[in-house]
């Protein structure tokens, strides 16, 4: 079983739509969770960390459900500039990070 699993999509949504991505992880002892954004042919960049209490940054909301071992990312009022691949990242322990394969989002005018 993979450490981290994501729905690869693609998600094609109109501008202004709300879209949600989910990610599941296998190691119940995982410590830290992140969402990264990767634009085409660029390096991944941190979008937001995910905290147990949930956290919000503008139009973006991240949630963690430890009991079910999944994290989610909600994007409200989608913009064209949100088009990218979103990577779920889990830090189980030690020094290794585990990445999901990414979910592709295209926001359509």
Which parts of this chain interact with another protein (CB under 8 A)?
A: 8, 32, 34, 41-46, 49, 87, 89, 91, 94-97, 99-102
Based on CB atoms, which residue is closest to another protein, 48 or 75?
Answer: 48
Q: Which helix (H) or strand (E) holds 67?
A: none
Place of tokens 């394969």: 101
Based on CB atoms, which residue is closest to another protein, 42 or 79?
Answer: 42
CB of 6 to another protein, least distance (A): 8
Question: Could you tell me how far CA 8 lies from the centroid of its own chain?
Answer: 11
Contact between 54 and 64 under an 8 Å Cβ cutoff? The reply is: yes
| CA pair distance 6, 36, nearest whole angstrom | 13
CB of 101 to another protein, least distance (A): 4
CB of 14 to another protein, least distance (A): 26
């Amino acid at each position: 079983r993979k450490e981290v699993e994501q729905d690869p999509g693609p998600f094609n949504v109109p501008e202004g739509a709300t879209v949600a991505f989910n990610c599941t992880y296998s190691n119940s002892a995982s410590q830290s969770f992140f969402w990264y954004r990767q634009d085409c042919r660029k390096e991944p960049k941190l979008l937001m960390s995910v905290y147990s209490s949930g956290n919000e940054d503008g139009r973006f909301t991240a949630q963690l459900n430890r009991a079910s071992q999944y994290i989610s990312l909600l994007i409200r009022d989608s913009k064209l500039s949100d088009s990218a691949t979103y990577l779920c990242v889990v830090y189980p322990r030690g020094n290794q990070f585990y990445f999901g394969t990414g979910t592709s989002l295209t926001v359509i005018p």
